[in-house]
Amino acid sequence: MPKAKNRYNKNAIRQQMIEAVGGTDILYTVDTADGKEIEFTIPHPLFYDRATKDALKELADDDEEGVARLCLGDQYDKFIEAGGEDEDISMLMARVQKDSSARINGRPTR
C-alpha cells in the first residue's frame, strides 16, 4: 500500500486553528446606557462542544433568542439587562465567521 503523501496531526491542526482565529473563546462587549462596558465570553463556533452543536441543530433557523441563550449561557440575563439584544449575537456570529474564514485563509480582517 502506498504511503500517504500528506500527514496531519489532530493536536497540531487544532492548535493552528486556535492561533489562526485568536482563541477558543470570543470576548464581546456591550456599552450600557450609563456608559459602562460589560464583557461577555462566548465559545468560538469552531470549538463548540458536542452538546452545543446538538442543541443548535434543534433550534429553528430564525430562533435568535435560542442562539443567544445557548451562546451566552448563564450570562444571557446580564446581557439583556446591559442592553444587548438577541439579534446582536446573530450578527456577532456572522462577523466571527467572516473574520475567521479570512484569518484561516491568510487574509487580513481589518
- Tell me: the pLDDT tens digits for 72-91? 999 999 999 999 999 999 99
pLDDT confidence of residue 107: 62
Residues 6+ apart with CB under 8 A from 103: 20, 21, 22, 109
Q: What is the percent of the chain with per-residue pLDDT over 90, rounded to a whole number?
A: 76
pLDDT confidence of residue 108: 56
- Tell me: the pLDDT tens digits for 22-55? 999 999 999 999 999 999 999 999 999 999 999 9
Query: Whole-prediction pTM value?
Result: 0.81
Query: Residue 109: is its pLDDT beyond 60?
Result: no
